[in-house]
Structure 1
Amino acid sequence: MQEIELIATSTFGLESVVAQEVKQLGYPNTTVENGKVMFKGDKLAICRANLWLRSADRVRLKIGEFKAVTFDELFEKTKALPWADWIPENAEFPVEGKSVKSTLFSVSDCQAIVKKAVVESLKQTYKKSWFDENGPLFKIEVALLKDVATLTIDTTGPGLHKRGYRRLISGAPLKETMAAAMIQLARWRPDIPLHDPFCGSGTIPIEAVLIGRNIAPGMNREFVAEVWPTIPKKLWQEARRETHDLADYGRPLDIIGTDIDGDMIAIARENAEEAMVEDAVSFKRLPVAALKSDKSYGTLVCNPPYGERLLERKEVEKLYQTMGEVFTNLDKWSYYILTSYEQFEQFFGKKADKNRKLYNGNIKSYFYQYYGPRPPKDRS
């Protein structure tokens, strides 16, 4: 089968997590750059990557890459790429773009030139002078970085964080992709308890169930490339069959989400039902000050309030102090906390074993990691 180049785009700071997921899918040769992981596969890899990648933003098909410092160069080199190998004559093919540190800095001009070049390329193949663009969507991106143009087509559609289960959300929800990455960075094992004491709409506990039961996060949604005539439907069928074959739907898990807001708990339960994992996760209303467990070992993963507004800071600082007091009582537990508050460790009362900078949306945040003793493998 034809080898193709794919790019799994990523939130800054999560590239290594995405690269590991790509390798676990069976594509070991990865190249990691800021915001993206590049790998090679076949057309089936497009299907599998979209269905299985938990922490990536989307999957792009790379058509070509070249240096371009003039508009003529951009036009001619784009026109020479094999667009007709992928784009049928009735396709809709809008062009979006971005330019960073490049001679060709006008994004709108670059988009117009790439669009014109693709049209001219398709004219040569299909012997047509006009394209109605009333068929399947092939969204092209021209990304210029230091005068190197990368031309890709989006295979995903709505971002990979759109799992389909979160019908009801809170005002500032944690993306599903970030939640999945946090759980993987915590190196949580499905045989030990996991607790989110600020669960909000339930994203972290639900993603933990999907990971613990090896349920593909894209299993219950559709992707833009599913209707591409250039990818045989049997490949999508094969990839979806694999997701069902590999899922361990009955695996028992000990996952709890708590929150002080009862309305949020109701939303979390509804989201768990949408994800069809309500049997594997327990939600209940509980302030963090009342947190306790009779389990010797466990993992806390949470995204507490940040105190972005000035009037909230004193309240958040007090909350972090309470967290420090309560979490310390769980002396054999590991805990992983995402917050943008730079003085978190000061109020929490303990320096993290490891601190990782991440971006939660556009907010620069820190993932504070506190390691408890490794639990025995034969007990929780």
Structure 2
Amino acid sequence: MSYVNYTIIATCAMGIEAILAKEVRALGYECEVENGRVTFRGDARDVAQANMWLRTADRIRLEIGKFRAKTFDELFEGTLQLPWEQFISVDAAFPVSGKSVQSTLFSVPDCQGIVKKAIVERLKRKYRQVTWFEEQGAPVPIEIALRKDMAVLTIDSSGTGLHKRGYRLEQGEAPIKETLAAALVQLTNWFPDKPFVDLFCGSGTIAIEAALIGQNIAPGFNRSFACELWKMFPKSVWEEVRQEADDSADYGKELQIFGSDLDPKMIEIAKVNALEAGLYDAIQWKQMRASDFKTTGENGVIVCNPPWGERMGKREVESLYSELGETLKPYETWSVYVLTGDEQFEEHYGKKATKKRKLFNGFIRTDFYQYWGKRPKK
């Protein structure tokens, strides 16, 4: 077991930092929140836990060091002083990516080259018999991020982005990331004993993320991570974390989750994805128009990402939103949450939202319109 403490950075989409911080604290860590990231301290086991359980994080990075760098010499020397041999084995691959914002060193390719050169020099000094690194082993992805002349060097423990849960074999034309879908669910007032509905389910992502939450299934349970192959991380760490995740899941919990879509092809895709996620029996799917929705249930939650923008014509979108508002008007105890980039949504829907939250779907700015249902009678 490794008890070395690291500065761990969980990155996320803009607008959901508070949700991610809540997840981090629920795992038992104190954290700091900044734009697009949440930072906390932990060892190898904590890195594994974060990768396994954080539903709204994009990646889990380890901060190796940070320092001010306004010249290439400062960048080289600062990088050279960091203990890279603790993270990079003699056979490891260590690609370097980069970004620069409001910094004197604005050429990202040049910064990447300087960092790579400094790391190689450091490793040569530590692995004295080695003059050339084949980089055929496990990858240790490195990033140099410059902001206002402050250089931050990190390694990526996740590998493939954490939104890649492993269950989405197929998708539609305008899918939302699994991490954003999980954030949408967590922004609602839904509890697993209440009905949950997505009337524009597409490939089923929102409903599947709700089911994962409802049965307390770790989002990373069915995938692998870059740091699993790192020699500095004992295999026993991952064995323990996976076993604990399996033990924590309530696979038999009955859920009232329903997904529908007008396109029969998307319903079939959603079913395949749910099967891959091990949730085939946890979600009901139906091909139908959203305007055909009817229920006798009470105090449920509707979360959806209906078509907007180029996915449909302007008049079609306006008509769709208007129909949705009329369809859901009788269900006063239900809470409705709609993600869209259409700034006139409230006007077409026919009702002003209780609350509106700005979110980003990739680089696309959207709003999450929230309509809270009447409280249930005691």
Aligned equivalent of 2:274: 272
Q: State the AA in 2 paired with 1:252.
A: E
Q: Using the alignment, how far apart are the partners of 2:67 and 2:323 within structure 1?
A: 54
Return 5+ residue gaps in structure 1 as ranges: none
SS of the residue 1:329 aligns to:
coil
Q: Does the aligned pair in 1 maintain the 2:20–2:54 contact within 8 Å?
A: yes
1:15-47 Cα offsets, whole Å, 9 max, x none, are 1111111111111x2111111111111110111
Out of 295, 298, 304, the residue aligned to residue 296 of structure 1 is 298
Cα shift at 1:154: 0.6
Q: Helix, strand or coil: the match of 1:56?
A: coil
Q: Check 1:288–1:106 CA distance in 2 against 1; reply closer, same or farther (3 A cut).
A: same
Please give the alpha-carbon distance, in whole angstroms, between the structure 2 residues aligned to 1:208 and 1:50.
19
Q: Distance in 1 between matches of 2:323 and 2:80?
A: 61
What SS does the corresponding residue of 2:329 show, helix, strand or coil? helix
Q: 2:308 aligns with which of 296, 306, 309?
A: 306
| CA–CA distance in structure 2, aligned partners of residues 238 and 231 of structure 1 | 12
Q: CA deviation at 1:307?
A: 2.5
Contact (CA 8 Å) 2:189, 2:301: kept in 1 or not?
no
3-state SS of the aligned residue for 1:192?
coil
Instruction: Identify the residue that residue 124 of structure 1 maps to in structure 2.
Output: 125
Give the RMSD, CA atoms, in angstroms: 1.1
Q: Deviations over 1:310-342 (max 9, x none)?
A: x71110011000111111111110011000001
Q: Give the length in aligned residue pairs.
A: 375
Task: Give the match for residue 264 of structure 2.
Answer: 262
Letter of the 1:303 counterpart: N
CA displacement 1:46-83 (0-9 Å, x = unmatched) = 11111111111111111011111111111101110111
Q: CA deviation at 1:187?
A: 3.1
Partner residue in 2 for 1:215: 217
User: Is the 1:180–1:208 Cα contact (8 Å) retained in structure 2?
Assistant: yes
Between the aligned partners of 1:170 and 1:51, the Cα distance in structure 2 is 26
After the TM superposition, list the runs of 4 or more consecutive aligned residues in structure 1 that deviate by more than 4 angstroms: none
CA contact (8 A) 1:292 1:330 kept: no
Equivalent runs, 1:88-167 vs 2, <5 Å:
88-127=89-128, 128-167=130-169
**1:374: Cα distance to partner?**
3.6
Counterpart CA distance in 2 for 1:358 and 1:42 is: 31
CA contact (8 A) 1:84 1:122 kept: yes
**CA offset digits 1:266-312 (Å, max 9, x no partner):** 11111111111111100001101111110021000000001236x71
Aligned to 1:200: 202
Q: State the Cα distance separating 1:135 from its structure 2 match.
A: 0.7
SS at match of 2:285: strand
Q: Which amino acid aligns with 1:269?
A: K
Structure 2 portions without partners, runs of 5+: none
Cα separation, 1, equivalents of 2:44 and 2:240: 12
Cross-structure match for 1:58:
59
Residue 332 of structure 2 is matched in structure 1 by 331
TM (norm. structure 1) is 0.97
Residue type matched to 1:192 in 2?
K
- Distance between the aligned counterparts of 1:195 and 1:318, measured in 2? 21
Residue type of the alignment partner of 2:303 = V
1:237 equivalent in alignment to 2:250:
no
- Find the aligned partners of 1:64 and 1:370 in 2 and give their Cα distance: 45
Question: How far apart are the structure 2 equivalents of 1:65 and 1:335?
Answer: 44
Q: Find the aligned partners of 2:5 and 2:374 in 1 and give their Cα distance.
A: 44
Q: Give me the identity figure in percent.
A: 55
Which of 23, 30, 52 is residue 21 of structure 1 equivalent to?
Answer: 23
**Is this contact kept in 1: 2:167–2:276, CA < 8 A?**
yes
CA distance in 1, matches of 2:286, 2:344: 29
